[in-house]
Amino acid sequence: MTNFVDRFTLNFIADGRWHYIANGLLVTLQITFFAVLLGITLGFVIAIIRSTHDNTGKMKIGNAICNIYITVIRGTPVVVQLMIIYYVVFASFDINKVIVAILAFGMNSGAYVAEIFRSGIMSIDRGQFEAGRSLGFNYRQTMMYIIMPQAFKNILPALGNEFIVLLKETSVSGYIAMQDLTKGGDIIRSRTYDAFMPLIAVAIIYLIMVMIFSKLVSMLERRLRNSDH
Amino acid sequence: MITNGETLIKVEDVHKIYNGGTLHALNGVSAEIKKGEVIVIVGPSGSGKSTFLRSLNLLEVPSTGRIFFEGVDITSKKTDIDQHRQKMGMVFQHFNLFPHKTILENITLAPIKLLKKSREEAEKRGMELLDLVGLQEKAHAYPSQLSGGQKQRIAIIRSLAMDPDVMLFDEPTSALDPEMVGEVLELMKELARGGMTMVVVTHEMGFAKEVGTRVIFMDEGEIKEEGSPKEFFEHPKEPRLQDFLSKVL
Ligand SMILES: Nc1ncnc2c1ncn2[C@@H]1O[C@H](COP(=O)(O)OP(=O)(O)OP(=O)(O)O)[C@@H](O)[C@H]1O
Ligand SMILES: [Mg+2]
């Protein structure tokens, strides 16, 4: 037991090493939060363009661009995308790494969210769309008032899952020398030569965040379900 | 202003072609629908009844031909079809109520958003319509809590809330359990007697005989025969119609 206390002190208390964890956590949360926002926005726009094309045959060029985007993003590892954005795209700019990470993870997530949104839109019975249009709603209004609210409810679990994946994926931020939560633990490990303590601590923090988030999603889901059926 | 007896809808030689030209769902249909008429469309499965009805509000866009509603060519690219659809109610076989909205919200959504009615005004009218069908106590229920017959009556008054000039029905009772057909037909008859212009695709010949002003027989994408219910049912001329009637009557 004293052994445990000693190791805990060495890894987290001595030299204020817990700061690596705390600051890293803050960076991780920051990246995840804004990447989620970017991902939803991007995914929403892409899904609307692709569904509009599927439904009306309009927006051919937009649809083609979206298809390429989704294929490329989903066909390459996120860590490679992150490094390309940092070391290639912004090579000659002095740019905040947090912004680079938000861009990389947000753009990556957008491709997956787009497909989730689109499958949600396609899951709605065509009769709903026709009922909306026959009342006099235009395409956009029908989407906004009738299709989207139902689609959103259907995709909530998949969306929640995507954000859990995103949260965990930000752990590769160390590849562009960012000090996120994972990197924080790793720095402690390299200082104290104790792998167990800092890495387990990091793992537990991720786990707790994922569990809290899952709980929030299922609460929201239940509330939405109660509001009909 | 269109008064009784004036032309409300005019269909000019409409063709609808599917599958790259191999399927002629409508094969040159022309018709005139006057205000106050209750038109009943009958015919075998696949004869183009739904396609015809759905082209009246452009849910199906004709391949060629023109359709005029209240004097406006709605098949013209320049026409804002959404504006005209507000005046054409449509009732579907499968109700298509909005499951995420309460019954009252289903009814008031379009009047609030499209007619810019205030919520109070729209809800007042909504409750009046609910009273008409005896379903006021369902105002705050969700569609999933209603029977099929109740859903269809709500679907009908949802369209009525827009104060349409014509109501289009595509087999409104075909998805219902037999014991619920009556309540929906009763409401439709009430509308007909109240002077609503109606175009109804149905297999309910009793409805046609009782309130129909004209019956149309469609077959192979064409209007093969039409007439008053009396001559239509008692003296059918076309052999295809005689054959059809012998099966359904
Ligand atoms: N979207 C479509 N794509 C291809 N073919 C279609 C489409 N809609 C209808 N059809 C075809 O057009 C023809 C007419 O169909 P329609 O639905 O108008 O018939 P109907 O008289 O309403 O039949 P039912 O009594 O079975 O409802 C049918 O052969 C049908 O298969
Ligand atoms: Mg049909």
Nearest CA to ligand 1 atom 16: B48
DSSP annotation string for B36-55: T-EEEEE--TTSSHHHHHHH
Q: Quote the ligand 1 centre to B228 CA distance (angstroms).
A: 26
CA atoms within 13 A on the CB side of B45: 2
Q: How confident is the prediction for chain A on average, in pLDDT?
A: 93
A227 touches chain B (CB under 8 A): yes
DSSP annotation string for chain B: ---TTSEEEEEEEEEEEEGGGTEEEEEEEEEEEETT-EEEEE--TTSSHHHHHHHHTTSS--SEEEEEETTEETTSTTS-HHHHHTTEEEE-TT----TTS-HHHHHHHHHHHTS---HHHHHHHHHHHHHHTT-GGGTTS-GGGS-HHHHHHHHHHHHHTT--SEEEEESTTTTS-HHHHHHHHHHHHHHHHTT-EEEEE-S-HHHHHHH-SEEEEEETTEEEEEE-HHHHHHS--SHHHHHHHHHH-
Position B95 scores a pLDDT of 97
CA A92/CA A89 separation, integer angstroms: 8
Distances (CA, A) of B207 to B48, B50, B51, B59, B190: 20, 18, 21, 25, 11
Position B191 scores a pLDDT of 97
User: Residue A159: enclosing H or E segment and its boundaries?
Assistant: helix A148-169
A134-165: pLDDT as tens digits: 999 999 999 999 999 999 999 999 999 999 99
A23-71: pLDDT as tens digits: 999 999 999 999 999 999 999 999 999 999 988 888 999 999 999 999 9
A143 touches chain B (CB under 8 A): no
Q: Which residues, judged by CB distance below 6 Å to any ligand atom, belong to the binding site of ligand 1?
A: B 18-19, 23, 25, 43, 45-51
Ligand nearest to the CA of B45: 1
Distances (CA, A) of B123 to A20, A100, B99: 58, 51, 18
Position B204 scores a pLDDT of 94
Asked if B225 and B215 touch (Cβ cutoff 8 Å), the reply is no
Question: Other CB atoms closer than 10 Å to residue B210's CB: what's the count?
Answer: 14
pLDDT at A2 over 80: no
Please name each of the domains of chain A with its CATH number.
2-227 (1.10.3720.10)
Position A22 scores a pLDDT of 95
pLDDT at A178 over 90: yes
Ligand nearest to the CA of B203: 1
Q: Name the minimum distance, in Å, from the CA of B143 to any CA of chain A.
A: 8
pLDDT at A184 over 80: yes
| pTM of structure | 0.87
pLDDT bin (cut points 50, 70, 90) of residue A223 is confident
What atom of ligand 1 comes closest to residue B48's alpha carbon? 18
pLDDT bin (cut points 50, 70, 90) of residue A227 is low
Q: Name the minimum distance, in Å, from the CA of B171 to any CA of chain A.
A: 14
Position B237 scores a pLDDT of 94
Position B87 scores a pLDDT of 97
Nearest CA to ligand 1 atom 3: B18
B88 touches chain A (CB under 8 A): yes
Q: Chain B residue with minimal CA distance to A225?
A: B100
- The three-state (H, E, C) secondary structure of A185-212, written as one string: HHHHHHHHCCCHHHHHHHHHHHHHHHHH
**Which residues of chain A lie closer than 8 angstroms to B98, CB-CB?**
128, 131, 146, 150
Token pair belonging to A64: 């083609």
B159 touches chain A (CB under 8 A): yes
Position B1 scores a pLDDT of 54
Position B3 scores a pLDDT of 66
Q: Ligand 1 test: best mutation among B15, B17, B22, B23, most atoms within 8 Å of CB?
A: B23
Position B5 scores a pLDDT of 75
Ligand nearest to the CA of B55: 1
Run means of pLDDT, 10 residues per run, chain B, 249 residues: 80 94 93 97 96 97 96 95 97 97 98 97 98 97 96 98 98 96 97 97 95 96 96 95 91
**Nearest CB partner across the interface for A131, out of B88, B96, B114:** B96
Q: Quote the ligand 2 centre to A84 CA distance (angstroms).
A: 55
Q: Quote the ligand 2 centre to A134 CA distance (angstroms).
A: 16
pLDDT at A10 over 60: yes
**Nearest CB partner across the interface for B85, out of A127, A134, A149:** A134
pLDDT bin (cut points 50, 70, 90) of residue A220 is confident
Position A118 scores a pLDDT of 94
Position A11 scores a pLDDT of 87
